[in-house]
Amino acid sequence: MQTDFRKELYKQYDSMYKSHISHFDSKSIHKMWSWFDHKYLPLISSYPKESPILELGCGRGYMLEYLSRHNYNNLKGIDISEEQIKISRSKGFDVEVNDALNFFNNNEKKYKIIIALDFVEHFHKSELLLLFEGIFRSLEEGGLFFFHTPNGQTILSPALIYGDLTHLTIFNPNSAMQLLRIVGFNKVNFYEAGPLTKNLSGFIRMIIWKSIKACYNLINLVEAGSTQKILTQNFIAVAIK
């Protein structure tokens, strides 16, 4: 159970923080959903629409809404922020205010998919093993767990990492794999959360991004004798039980 400074911050997490740094207008939401089309939907498209899905840190319910629009109909969400849960619940979703560690201590249901977007970085290292054990235990065999989190080896500004006081543990793919494997996941992959080539602007951004990566990895190769594949501000981890 979280009993430290986070409790006070989460009381007004939406009104005093998220609503000031994020855009929740229709255009921004649809842009986010378009990004989901390319990054997340391919991960779950092979699973039946009735698959039980749990979202950890569901916030205002935008991922649940996206899944519902794609006809996934067995959805559950939890979040520590009562403000955000009220918004998500107003959309008709099965959501509850709960601490994830407490939730998994009492959960007996199995899920086919567990999703955690911008979530795992909010835990102390001492809590993460318990959290990931709960996730693994609550997945069906063949179930999918994926999360999106700030990248500790990004070559971009660390503003995202340090822009939230409740960010406590920052991963890179190696440390994420270390944790996933120790709780039992053997099929693990990582992906950049970078620009999409869905239009001309995205195609140009991708070319520039690949050029930046090549320059950085040349420096890294000279200095350390190695290169890095995942260098975006965030990365996506995908694990199958």
pLDDT tens-digit readout, 73-112: 999 999 999 999 999 999 999 999 999 999 999 999 999 9
How far lies 193's CA from each of 73, 119, 138, 235, in Å? 26, 15, 26, 5
pTM: 0.94
Q: Which long-range contacts (CB under 8 A, 24 or more apart) does 72-78 make?
A: 72/44, 73/49, 74/50, 76/52, 76/111, 78/54, 78/103
Q: What is the pLDDT of residue 138?
A: 97
Q: What is the pLDDT of residue 3?
A: 58
In order along its 241 residues, the chain shows pLDDT tens digits of 555 888 888 888 888 888 887 888 899 999 999 999 999 999 999 999 999 999 999 999 999 999 999 999 999 999 999 999 999 999 999 999 999 999 999 999 999 999 999 999 999 999 999 999 999 999 999 999 999 999 999 988 788 888 899 999 999 999 999 999 999 999 999 999 988 888 888 889 999 999 999 999 899 899 889 889 999 999 999 999 9
How far lies 6's CA from each of 130, 140, 148, 226, in Å? 18, 31, 20, 38
Closest to 128 (Cα-Cα) out of 97, 171, 96, 163: 171
Q: Beta strands of 88-161 (E only): which ranges?
A: 95-97, 111-117, 139-150
Q: Where are the alpha helices (DSSP H) in 51-99?
A: 62-69, 82-90
Q: What is the pLDDT of residue 1?
A: 55
CATH code for 6-196+231-240?
Answer: 3.40.50.150
Q: What is the pLDDT of residue 198?
A: 82
Neighbours of 119 (CB within 10 A): 19
